[in-house]
Amino acid sequence: MSILDRYQAYADAFEETYLDDDWSRIAPYFSENAVCESGVGDARGKRAVLAMLKAGLDGFDRLMDSRVPDFATPTVDGDTVRVSWSVTYTKGRAPDLALSGVEFATFEGDQIALLHDDLSPEAEKAMSEWLAAHGALLQGD
């Protein structure tokens, strides 16, 4: 299986995990020493990476009323898969929040050794402004 196919399988498994919170489904896609880098911090080691991904979903995505992801066709450069993505969130009567960025997954064999996510500057600004104006909606119903 190519790393592109492996990444797509991971992305599909991640979306299933978003729905049912079964993190054992995506654990096999990461190496034991995997690293995840994002705008909220870094995680080192498979357990820490999975915990960070779960915390991101629990602390933001699952607090929204809806989440609609859209992924561009991934590309491969050596051992790294690159994919541009966007996600549109809704919450109550607040305006939709559209975020976009790029994810890089560097593989060692058939496992992700480094997962790196970058929000676009526009997305960082939109998120900051949305949270300032509507973040109280995420504190619970």
pTM of the model: 0.92
For residue 41, the model assigns a pLDDT of 86
Partner residues linked to 112 by β-bridges: 30, 107
Residue identified by tokens 């357990």 is 47
Q: What fold, for 3-139?
A: Nuclear Transport Factor 2; Chain: A, (3.10.450)
Q: Give residue 62's identity as a one-letter amino acid code.
A: R
Please say if the pLDDT value at position 11 is more than 70: yes
pLDDT at residue 1, as a whole number:
84
Rounded mean pLDDT, 121-141: 90
Which band of pLDDT confidence, cut at 50, 70 and 90, is reported for residue 140? low
Separation between Cα atoms, residue 104 and residue 44, nearest integer Å: 16
Using 50, 70 and 90 to split pLDDT, how confident is the model at 139?
A: confident
Burial of 29 (0-12, 13-18, 19+ CB in 10 A): buried
How buried is residue 78: exposed, middle or buried, by Cβ count under 10 Å (0-12/13-18/19+)? exposed
Contact of 117 with 103, CB cutoff 8 Å: yes
Q: How many CA atoms lie within 13 A of 91 on its CB side?
A: 20
pLDDT tens digits along 42-98: 999 999 999 999 999 999 999 999 999 999 999 999 999 999 999 999 999 999 999
Predicted confidence (pLDDT) per residue in 97-124, tens digit: 999 999 999 999 999 999 999 999 999 9
In angstroms, the CA 101 to CA 124 distance is 9
- 23: which strand partners? none
